[in-house]
Structure 1
Amino acid sequence: MKYRIKGLRVGAGYKAGVFAKEIGISREYLRLLENGKAQNPSIELMKKISKKLNASVEELFFSDEEK
């Protein structure tokens, strides 16, 4: 499962380390999420990321490609 986080994060001008710190995760875990290697992030984390990137949870974590 690959999420759409990186494109929106980079587009918003966030560096990985700063973004990870602001949402309360490690840079390594952010990298795993962005590369689709970390699965089943918590609902709370999905909401934090979505809010920070002004996107819906569905848009970031549940793409049409997965259906």
Structure 2
Amino acid sequence: GHATTPLCAPSRSSVFSGRYAHNHGGRNNGASRSLDQHTTLQRYLKQAGYRTGLFGKYLNSWDLSEA
């Protein structure tokens, strides 16, 4: 595997969005809210009619009401 950044939140945000940290805005662990939740793989799957589940750690400060 390969991580584009060694920090947890920016790396997870890259996996969720398919973009590098400098493109999705989450450049450090305290900037989880800067990820646009409307442009994530999870959002696209939900819009396509899939039911998704969450297991384990996701992102700090993730707003579940917008997920």
TM-score (norm 2): 0.30
Q: Structure 1 or 2: larger helix share?
A: 1
RCO higher in 1 or 2 (8 Å CA, sep ≥ 6)? 1
Structure with higher Rg: it is 2
